[in-house]
Structure 1
Amino acid sequence: MRKQITNILRNFTFALVLLMAMPALSQQSSTAMLVRGQVIDAGDNQTIPGATVVEQDAESRTVGGVVTDFDGNFAIRVKNPNNKLVVSTIGYKSKTVAINGKQSVKVFLVSTVESLKEIVVTSAKTSDNGLMRIADRDRTTSSVSINAADLENTQAASIDEALQGRLSGVDIVATSGDPGAGMQIRIRGTSSITGSSDPLIVVDGMPYETSVPEDFNFGSADEQGYAALINIAPSDIETITILKDAAATAIWGSRAASGVLLITTKRGSVGAPKITYTYRGTYSKLPPTIPMLSGDQYSQLIPEEFMNRNGVPLNTLNVKEFQYDPQDVYYFNNYSQNTNWIDAITQAGITGEHTLALSGGGQKARYYTSVGYYKSKGVTIGTGLERLNARLNLDYNVSDRIKFKTDLSYTNTDTQRNYVNGTSSGDRLRGVAYTKMPNMSIYEYDELGNLTPNYFSPAANVQGTYAGTYNPLAMAKLAINDQVENRIVPHFNLSVGIVPGVFMSTFDLQFDYKSTKTKSFLPQNATGRPFTETVVNRASDADADEASIITKTNFIYTPKIGEKQTFQALVSLQSNDYRYTSHQALTSNTASSLLTDPSNPSRTQNSELFLGTGNLQARNVGAVFTAQYGLLDRYLINVGLRADGNSKFTGKNRYGYFPSVSARWRISGEPFMKSFEKIDDLSMRLSYGHSGGAPRFDYRFFNVYNNYQTEYLGLNGVVPGNMELTNLKWETKIGKNLGFNLQMFNKRLSIDAEIYQTTSKDLLFRDLDVTSVSGYSTISDQNVGTMESSGWEIGLNATPFKSKKWKIDFNFNISNNQNMITEISEFVATESGNTDRNGQFKRFLQVDNPFGSFYGYRFKGVYTDLDATRARDANGNVIAGPNGEEVFMRFNYPNTDYVFQPGDAIYEDINKDGNIDSRDVVYLGNSNPKFAGGFGSNVSFNNQLRLMLFFTYRFDFDIVNGTDMSTTNMYGWSNQSTAVLSRWRNPGDVTNMPRAIYGAGYNWLGSDRYVEDASFVRLRSVTLSYNLGKNILKKLNLDEIRVYVTADNLYTFTKYRGQDPEVSMGSGAFGMSIDNAATPPTKRFSFGLTTRF
């Protein structure tokens, strides 16, 4: 396999080099000659800069070309002296000149108008839904677009990051600030419980595979592991269009049920070869971290915890970490420090990016090719991203009727992550750094008190053994978690005009191959544990190969039916065959930390050994019919039907049928609107459509058997892996959309508004609990209920000021989305979380409950003294017992029956019975934002100096500050934040910080004490750019030089007390947003340079 990959890369490199050499090779000919000339205005004899001069052969095929300089001069090496030159430019009639062996020519162009003060170029913008091109003004469905110019100054590593806040109805949240971390993308909110809510990504008309196979584990199969768009370089993007309503997405089938991202890459244009080089350099740093206790402050806290538990002081004879005896040199030096572990694992982030692109071509052939290199060092030690990407897009017109396109992209991505990279503060590196003992030394002191270069990683201490207690810096620097991905995607397109201008056919064939290798190694000196334990020298190698073959055949019919009517129809046949194989080897206890290969046979006794393979295949086919009819340029209607077949369903439910209908009324075209001269366009759109969702994983209708590793009589057995599902149905989404489009003042003001409602029926629910008498614990997938989702969106673009030199643009978008479960099966586990335990919240799946909601207690402060702990009724009167005895507030009586003490947390007694229990649990919040979007402004002077500002925002959503929960509970040996310095210590103290008590009490139950409104407005980017003037460019013989400086994430306006309010919502049926000390978005300061010649 590796040999095949090497051969592919070698051939790709040769093809790329050959392509970039084509302009030079084309000049080499025995009959080639150099022709010089000048292009002049026939009216005023002024020279014409920027005119295109191309050489055409006897068959009118373009074989070369150049562009005139600022004085109208050109020099072109022609291939044949008998060819001709075609000269053209905007505002002039093209002219053809026979060369006839002449080495010098003057070309006079005639203006298309007698007097031309200003050239205004207008065109009908067209875009497609991936299948059929339609003018933007004639779209009947809901979509929004962004072009390359809006993204060219972004410092994002991926397209999804660059799109944050820029498109209405598209909510994008970073899962982490580490390089290569994923982004959670939601178009119009969450639309499924455990099915996929991720949009389909389509690149140049073909689906882009982003699925995560079911057996993907690799030891780190978390959301960060798959940044779906990381392999598409932002510099290669021309436009991005988001399809949002069901009528637009239905034609793309089941994978598009949650929306579609249509990405169009750059292509070559007619003209001489153009070379563009771009450099970006970025410096990143973390925002201020949460202040933590010093070693001295921590050493005072821990004994207080023990004293508050039972009045017995901490026994330092047994707990040497707090003995501080100078006679015990080893413990005294290794546990008498003031270590800031967060600072220890933090570094300055550095990013460098280089992009080189070549484009050009003639009337027959055009090309665009690019090579990019991106390298980023994360702000957390041990994290980074390195990417090499290349793209080649070729267009060739065989004739007026036959056209051929070939696209080839290759990406190599190397992502370095921390070995411990989980989803909770207990196993995330930064979470451990926050709670690690600050009195512990980073480096080990020996028995003589000498500081050694070895990391201090004790086998055990009071914080435990390994998990959550390791030396964070040792883990960051010594452990390995490296993922290398190679992806190559060749795409071929053939277009045939069967009846020119009326009936045409296109055929697309795409191969998508991706190879992923994940290597991890956990050395003994990162854990400190004995060599006999499986967390020592633990090595894993995992390889995964994914391959898909995608075909698409379109038949497009566009008859001419008169000036007042338009019609376009399309039939599309599609198929996608996907295959996946994986291999994993895992061992532990190799004899040395230098032996990082799991295949190494040198292992100690009782070591772990695991060998695993995975193999799956999935296939789906689709047939689409869609047609659009227009009348009087005012009334448009579009109908569509998709039949989808998916191998994830059993035979009787394998095919789904999804109709759609949409219409547009151009009100501004009506006669009664003629008096409204300021209105350029006013339209109303209506759409209705169905789209379908399939299970995430395969083989659900098979009864799959797995190997059973435990031996019986020397033999391994097999066990059933899942229950056969013969009645599983499509998850169906029914969407309704009402939209308005308004353009005014010569298109200087544009407003788009949408109102929508989506009903998701037969919701897919994964891992449904069943009775054990069935022989299974869960059913893999089942249709269980209905969810309603509704909302609205508004997008605005305006040019409030424009003069000859100054121009000010403004953009704004806002969206609102709400969801509600309206039906749920009685067999679904409708709740999660235990409110009887510290640190947990209750979550429900129930009718009339929004998805993403969570419940808990209401925190009311701290009991100041004994009198405050007395139970009181609704009138505030003290409650007395049956015999008149005093009654004090209790927790979870009679199951736990803990009596609250002075200094304990107060929770609201909702029913005033003197007992805090499940009947006092109330709704606390929801992780879905009520409003989200972005706004910005561009100010330009003389089209050279430009200032760009862009803000993103999310309003009215709640997150659980899990970091605060773990750094203020004062419940164990973990370090705490400086907020605990205001804790309750003596009767009468008035504070909102409970007392410290080791391993007892209920001071950190899931309550609104840890729930915060995370609303924020972030200054996402500030860019100042400058384009060098024409005079300077002329002297340098360049077409463009642009320099710019950018600051990203410069400031965040928020009341959230944590490090950053941007937290993704967890996956699964009970997902919620919890801040668990992931790396926050970093402040980035960048310098960029673009030159074109």
Structure 2
Amino acid sequence: MKRNFRKVCFIMLLTTVCCVAAIAQIQNVIKGKITDEKTRQPIQGASISEVDADGRIIKGAVTDIEGNYIIRITNPKNKISVSYVGYKTTSVNISGKTTISFQLQTGGADLDEVIVVASRNMDNGMGSVQEKNLTTAVAKIDAKNLEEMTAPSIDGALQGRLAGVDITATSGDPGAAMNIRIRGISSINSNGNPLIVVDGMPYETEIPGDFNFGSADEQGYAQLLNISPADIKDITVLKDAAATAVWGSRAASGVLIITTKRGARGKPSIGYTFKGSASILPDALPMLNGDQYSTLIPEIYMNRNGSTLNTQQSREFNYDPNDPYWFHNYSNNTNWVDAISRTGHLHDHTISMNGGGEKAKYFASVGYFDQKGVTIGTSLKRINARINLDYTISEKIKIFTSIAYTHTDQNRNYSDNLREIAYRKMPNMSIYEYDELGNKTPNFFSPAFNVQGQFFGIDDKNKVVGTVNPVAMASMAKFRVLGERVVPRFQINYAILKNVLNASFDVQFDINNTQNSSFLPQIATGRPSTETTVNRPYSGDIDLFNVATRSTLVYSPQLKNTDHVISASLNVFTNDYTAVTQEIRTSNTASSLLEDPASPSRTVTGDIRSGTAKSRSVGAVIIGHYSYDDTYLFEATLRGDGNSKFGPNYRYGLFPGGSFRWRVSNVGILKKVKQLDDLSFRVSYALSGNAPRRDYTFYNTYSTYSWAYQGQTGVFPSRMELRNLRWETVHGFNTGLNVSLFKNRVRADVDIYRNRTKDLFFDNLQISSYTGFSAVNMNVGTMDNQGWEIAIFTIPFKAKDLTIGFDFNISHNENIIREISEFYPSTKGNIALNGEYMRILQIDNPFGSFYGFKFKGVHKDKASTLAVSGGKPITGPNGQEVYMRFNYPSVDYIFQPGDAIYEDVNNDGNINYMDVVYLGNSNPKLTGGFGPSVTYKGFKLSSFFNFRYGYDVVNETKMRTSNMAGYDNQSTAVLRRWRKEGDITDMPRGILGGGYNWLGSDRYVEDASFLRFRTVTARYTFQEKFISKLKIKNLSAYVTVENLYTWTGYTGQDPEVSTRGSDPFRVAADISLTPPTKAFTLGLVAGF
């Protein structure tokens, strides 16, 4: 199989026309072998370091299983140093040698006296660069630090780990994606997620913007599921514009670079990892039981109608044992949230193999992941496989190939608001139906209609409109997502002039198919079989085919004066993207067993859709690098982009950038400070462009009228041609400080930045109707993101058997709208309606801001409803008393005792839009994380905390479960409601279908700041002498608890609430999605 695979790869590479790209900064290569002086046995894991004249470690490597090493040196005048615990450290001059072997003597210093640190390499996607030589803002994390996490995708394990990277969960259901924000939101008409780069090539994570797909949003379409965390070696994040600009228009929101594992020279090594986990939900909100609910409803009915509830008409509250059908079906204490919940579990297995020789190295893995969610009807299964092959044909030619395959099978709830429905469902109703004689049946009780209403359908946000039996919906309605993705990649490197001029060419094919299938049976809604909402199957298919190429030419001359280092590279990118979509939805199949739309059924207009979209982008970037004396480092970039999503006038954009690093620790007296490993200042400035989300937006289109004149259907222009739609451009400035002390035991990175986005894309900009159009897409607006980041990594204590580490990071980002068109519809939401907030894009306020009334309490009696101005009662024209009104004259509701009090800002006795004030925004002021780790011999105890501080959430769950405005169940908070004059409380009276007691106000806006005990892990690594007889090379076991505890003042089910979708008016709203779960994991890692 491997031979055939090599042949296929080789043939495809030979047919590739263009071969231009390269390896950055090729240097002299030293190799050798490290053995024990007495036993002559090879030493695996020995540290190899290139050391300069001042004793600083320049580069590092480690020996493989056979004691071999290879290291690329930067200066032949330096030394090679070898160290290993229990052996004496040895060093020799390089002096032009290409092979240096060592025989180490035992009796070295204790572990606490031996600290050998090699500078880490960072992969910025354009090549590997030593961390200490970076001129831009970059952060890196080793995937080994995350391997105890149970997240099916790597983004879930990164929460709080990297400064400036804010990651929030969209839902706690299996397969739900994460919102990733790097230094805030750079564009208001996109989802703001960063570009994903895997092994140097962009990885497609978007879906066609015009594809419905049932619910094609961040919650349900998590493309990072296709990359198994077990295959990842490390993750690098590019944050400032100078770093991201080289990746072009798709990188305006940052870049997440994933490097997968590759083979290493040595005998075949087999690894096996296992994770088994059980998860439970946090405590749900306490809701009224059946008796409390049955007491509430007649009361709020009386408050509205002034009469008692007629239980002969509303038989749900009759409780007549002589009517067994109604009595047994509506005399319960059902906890619907508990009824749709369960204990979740998962098991995750990965088998991998790597090895290689002089010519070929390989890494292969196969994984199986199976998770059952905490909500009935949710699950995720994944099968993944990967092969990475490196082959050296000659000294000049090297080939790198990989192929990754992923199959996913995800089951979701039919509607996204199932948990919200469970919270609101009347608790006196039974889950299962009782017959006319009062006998319980196995059938779900799904009445076509009751006092709570009925099922009306699913809206465009995939939410149930109306009400259903939540357990029936979770158990019987189906929503399945099947994914198949194959990503083959081929790379050839050619050394044109050894160590001077190198070229490489990459081509990657991405074949991605996703199929949605859903079915809504009659039993889930109870509606009559004649309605089109009954037995409703759906099938959606999306085929994505993406071809990406990258050609690179690198020039890195070896200068005689080694104080000067220069290099230059040219990178050319192409990306061709094709999407083909089909959707069909029918209804009224003859049986609930017929779940295929191809079955005999009904269709209506709009139930069958298809589409094709194609786009192409090209880019070229020139990068020049110069350093002097390893002290002054300069880098300049010039990126040119072309994108088919633009019209002919602005199809191409040019984006320059530059960055500089000054290593102060190499200058003057600081050079003699032995405790100071590195002290550097950085500064960068660059431009990066962003293209529209949708294809074909610049074309003018025509549509037909829905009516005819004299038998002819008219045609009219429906969309204006946008020849002058421009690139949305981010102007990024960054300054930074890097400090390393005590042989890298203390490191600190500090950055301050400002990113200004100009020519913001605005969809549906309102224009004068005389043009023949009502709206158009245009560039009108400017927005800033500015802030700072601090990351600290320490090893405060290190002894022979004991090591203590502590890491900490914190970030602040401030978003400000600087400019917006006066024609843009900058407000959304009708403040005159209960439950509505005004969302305004207002200059000098942040994106994600919301506005409403100030809640001041409850009118305890009639006297408190008098209108007051300046402490004095307001009187009418005839001296009569004036009572507080709402929205006079259009509504003119007079507030009564027990009603909510809203602040009358302008003191006119009328609560209306003039009293609307700024309430908050959904952008956190601070984000970050921290955690200690303690290692003692084979034991390791580590923990991590993450936090978000200073962001506001609209608690819609609280709003819906405390408004007492309908027949929905309410939380136990309403037990303190106002009931009679004189009551002093913060909970207004209930009014069935009336009143204005739950207007959009700060009553439902909460500070959702939290500190979460994210993980704690206890791990034990078995000593070799205990496992060697079992033919096991290494073995470790661990126990992890995730989401152990959350400190917060938020009153909802969980404070981690994200902003979803691409609506420019989106805010963080708690809509009762599945919260993050507490997970208990047992893991095993073995090597053979």
TM-score (norm 1): 0.89
Q: Is the aligned partner of 1:752 residue 2:744? A: no
Q: Is the aligned partner of 1:892 residue 2:887? A: yes
Aligned to 2:18: none
Q: Is the aligned partner of 1:554 residue 2:549? A: no
Q: Would the alpha carbon gap of residues 139 and 885 (structure 1) be closer, same or farther in structure 2, given more than 3 Å must change?
A: same
Aligned to 1:844: 840
**SS at structure 1 position matched to 2:246:** helix
Conservation of the 8 A alpha-carbon contact between 2:35 and 2:43: no
For residue 707 of structure 1, report the CA deviation from its aligned partner: 8.2
Q: Would the alpha carbon gap of residues 949 and 718 (structure 1) be closer, same or farther in structure 2, given more than 3 Å must change?
A: farther
Aligned to 1:105: none
What is the rounded CA distance, in whole Å, between the counterparts of 1:843 and 1:13 in structure 2? 61
Q: Is the aligned partner of 1:784 residue 2:780? A: yes
1:980-1002 Cα offsets, whole Å, 9 max, x none, are 00100011111100001111111
Q: Is the aligned partner of 1:305 residue 2:300? A: yes
Aligned to 2:420: 431
Conservation of the 8 A alpha-carbon contact between 1:351 and 1:374: yes
What is the rounded CA distance, in whole Å, between the counterparts of 1:42 and 1:434 in structure 2? 68
Residue number among 427, 430, 438 corresponding to 1:441 in the alignment: 430
Aligned to 1:523: 521
AA partner of residue 409 (structure 1): A
Aligned to 2:1053: 1059
Aligned to 1:264: 259
| Percent of aligned pairs sharing the same letter | 52
What is the rounded CA distance, in whole Å, between the counterparts of 1:609 and 1:600 in structure 2? 18
For residue 440 of structure 1, report the CA deviation from its aligned partner: 0.7
What is the rounded CA distance, in whole Å, between the counterparts of 2:180 and 2:173 in structure 1? 17
Aligned to 1:950: 944
AA partner of residue 590 (structure 2): A
Residues 564-579 of structure 1: pairs in structure 2 closer than 5 A: 564-579=563-578
Residue number among 794, 800, 807 corresponding to 2:790 in the alignment: 794
**SS at structure 1 position matched to 2:523:** helix
Residues 320-399 of structure 1: pairs in structure 2 closer than 5 A: 320-399=315-394
Q: Is the aligned partner of 1:289 residue 2:284? A: yes
Aligned to 2:30: none
What is the rounded CA distance, in whole Å, between the counterparts of 1:643 and 1:987 in structure 2? 72
Conservation of the 8 A alpha-carbon contact between 2:858 and 2:899: yes
1:97-128 Cα offsets, whole Å, 9 max, x none, are xxxxxxxxxxxx96167975578665443223
Aligned to 1:22: none
Residue number among 528, 540, 543 corresponding to 1:545 in the alignment: 543
Gaps of 5+ in 1: 1-10, 20-38, 53-64, 73-87, 95-108, 422-427
AA partner of residue 634 (structure 1): T
For residue 672 of structure 1, report the CA deviation from its aligned partner: 2.5
For residue 132 of structure 1, report the CA deviation from its aligned partner: 3.3
What is the rounded CA distance, in whole Å, between the counterparts of 1:991 and 1:366 in structure 2? 72
1:210-258 Cα offsets, whole Å, 9 max, x none, are 1120221122223212223111111111111100111111110000011
**SS at structure 2 position matched to 1:507:** strand
Deviating 4+ runs (over 6 angstroms): 11-14, 16-19, 39-42, 88-94, 606-609, 706-719
Conservation of the 8 A alpha-carbon contact between 1:132 and 1:570: no
Aligned to 2:929: 934
Conservation of the 8 A alpha-carbon contact between 1:487 and 1:514: yes
Conservation of the 8 A alpha-carbon contact between 2:36 and 2:104: no
AA partner of residue 135 (structure 1): Q
For residue 321 of structure 1, report the CA deviation from its aligned partner: 1.2
What is the rounded CA distance, in whole Å, between the counterparts of 2:66 and 2:2 in structure 1? 34
For residue 362 of structure 1, report the CA deviation from its aligned partner: 0.8
What is the rounded CA distance, in whole Å, between the counterparts of 2:216 and 2:37 in structure 1? 69
What is the rounded CA distance, in whole Å, between the counterparts of 2:34 and 2:875 in structure 1? 105
1:418-455 Cα offsets, whole Å, 9 max, x none, are 0012xxxxxx0000000011111100111111111000
What is the rounded CA distance, in whole Å, between the counterparts of 1:527 and 1:286 in structure 2? 26
Q: Is the aligned partner of 1:922 residue 2:917? A: yes
What is the rounded CA distance, in whole Å, between the counterparts of 2:66 and 2:629 in structure 1? 44
Residues 98-497 of structure 1: pairs in structure 2 closer than 5 A: 111=103, 116-117=108-109, 122-421=117-416, 428-466=417-455, 467-497=465-495
Aligned to 1:859: 855
For residue 155 of structure 1, report the CA deviation from its aligned partner: 1.5
Q: Would the alpha carbon gap of residues 260 and 131 (structure 1) be closer, same or farther in structure 2, given more than 3 Å must change?
A: same
Residues 551-700 of structure 1: pairs in structure 2 closer than 5 A: 551-561=549-559, 562-601=561-600, 603=601, 610-700=607-697
For residue 893 of structure 1, report the CA deviation from its aligned partner: 1.3
AA partner of residue 165 (structure 1): G
For residue 529 of structure 1, report the CA deviation from its aligned partner: 0.4
Conservation of the 8 A alpha-carbon contact between 2:728 and 2:757: yes
Residues 1080-1091 of structure 1: pairs in structure 2 closer than 5 A: 1080-1091=1075-1086
1:776-804 Cα offsets, whole Å, 9 max, x none, are 4432x310111111000000000011100
**SS at structure 2 position matched to 1:494:** strand
Aligned to 2:509: 511
Q: Is the aligned partner of 1:995 residue 2:993? A: no
What is the rounded CA distance, in whole Å, between the counterparts of 1:854 and 1:207 in structure 2? 36
Conservation of the 8 A alpha-carbon contact between 1:587 and 1:608: no
Q: How many residues align?
A: 1011
Gaps of 5+ in 2: 10-32, 47-62, 69-81, 91-100, 456-464
AA partner of residue 476 (structure 2): L
For residue 1031 of structure 1, report the CA deviation from its aligned partner: 1.1
What is the rounded CA distance, in whole Å, between the counterparts of 1:212 and 1:138 in structure 2? 37
Residues 1009-1024 of structure 1: pairs in structure 2 closer than 5 A: 1009-1024=1003-1018
Q: Is the aligned partner of 1:830 residue 2:826? A: yes
Aligned to 1:1040: 1034
For residue 320 of structure 1, report the CA deviation from its aligned partner: 1.3
The range that moved more, 484-493 or 41-50, is: 41-50
For residue 718 of structure 1, report the CA deviation from its aligned partner: 7.5
Aligned to 1:810: 806
Conservation of the 8 A alpha-carbon contact between 1:191 and 1:760: yes
The range that moved more, 782-791 or 317-326, is: 317-326
Conservation of the 8 A alpha-carbon contact between 1:195 and 1:765: no
Conservation of the 8 A alpha-carbon contact between 2:169 and 2:178: yes
AA partner of residue 262 (structure 2): R
Residues 18-167 of structure 1: pairs in structure 2 closer than 5 A: 43-45=37-39, 50=44, 111=103, 116-117=108-109, 122-167=117-162
Conservation of the 8 A alpha-carbon contact between 1:869 and 1:888: yes
What is the rounded CA distance, in whole Å, between the counterparts of 2:707 and 2:494 in structure 1? 61
What is the aligned-residue RMSD (CA, Å)? 2.6
1:543-573 Cα offsets, whole Å, 9 max, x none, are 1100011010000011112210111110011
**SS at structure 1 position matched to 2:599:** coil
The range that moved more, 701-710 or 822-831, is: 701-710
Aligned to 1:98: none
Conservation of the 8 A alpha-carbon contact between 1:795 and 1:813: yes
AA partner of residue 965 (structure 1): M
Residues 690-769 of structure 1: pairs in structure 2 closer than 5 A: 690-705=687-702, 722-769=719-766
**SS at structure 2 position matched to 1:224:** coil
1:672-699 Cα offsets, whole Å, 9 max, x none, are 2134332110000000000001000100
AA partner of residue 490 (structure 2): F
Conservation of the 8 A alpha-carbon contact between 1:407 and 1:490: yes
Conservation of the 8 A alpha-carbon contact between 2:34 and 2:103: no
1:552-608 Cα offsets, whole Å, 9 max, x none, are 00000111122101111100111000000011111011111111110112x36x867
**SS at structure 1 position matched to 2:719:** coil
The range that moved more, 1019-1028 or 196-205, is: 196-205
AA partner of residue 443 (structure 1): Y
TM-score (norm 2): 0.90
What is the rounded CA distance, in whole Å, between the counterparts of 1:132 and 1:45 in structure 2? 40
Q: Would the alpha carbon gap of residues 277 and 45 (structure 1) be closer, same or farther in structure 2, given more than 3 Å must change?
A: closer
What is the rounded CA distance, in whole Å, between the counterparts of 1:649 and 1:153 in structure 2? 45
What is the rounded CA distance, in whole Å, between the counterparts of 2:612 and 2:45 in structure 1? 57
Q: Would the alpha carbon gap of residues 913 and 545 (structure 1) be closer, same or farther in structure 2, given more than 3 Å must change?
A: same
What is the rounded CA distance, in whole Å, between the counterparts of 2:45 and 2:662 in structure 1? 42
Aligned to 1:1027: 1021
